[in-house]
Amino acid sequence: MRHDLRRALGPESCRLACETPRTLRLDISGVDVDALLFDAALARGDSESLKTAVGLYRGALLEDCAEEWVVDERRHREQAYLIALEALASEAAMRGEHAAAVGYLHQAIEADLYREDLLRA
């Protein structure tokens, strides 16, 4: 597995460290990581930052990974994405930009088809 990762990383394989036979560490210093940029944009919380966060979201974090540690991270980011979309929709509606509000709500519904409050909105 380490060999495959090193090959996939190519010239950046020097960022991969194997401190023990069961652990891997990836040095991300000086690199933009979309998940971290997403978190930072959400933390700022203003409209432009929320739009940035929504634009960065590409779906469930490590969707095919069933490791226990990722489940909470995935759920947290999915909910944060939906909250950002709801906030943007609400702001757009208050400004009278109903088409934009509907667009944000459609994105939220696509992400979570079973949220009745989104469907009602």
pTM listed for this prediction: 0.81
121 vs 25: which has the higher pLDDT? 25
Distance of CA 96 to the CA centre of its chain: 28
The closest alpha carbon to 37, from 58, 53, 60, belongs to 53
pLDDT at 83 over 90: yes
Q: For 18-48, write each residue's pLDDT tens digit.
A: 888 788 888 888 888 899 999 999 999 999 9
Alpha-carbon separation of residue 51 from 37, 78, 82 (angstroms) = 12, 15, 12
Give 57's pLDDT tier (boundaries 50, 70, 90): very high
Percent share of the chain, pLDDT over 90: 53
114 vs 101: which has the higher pLDDT? 101
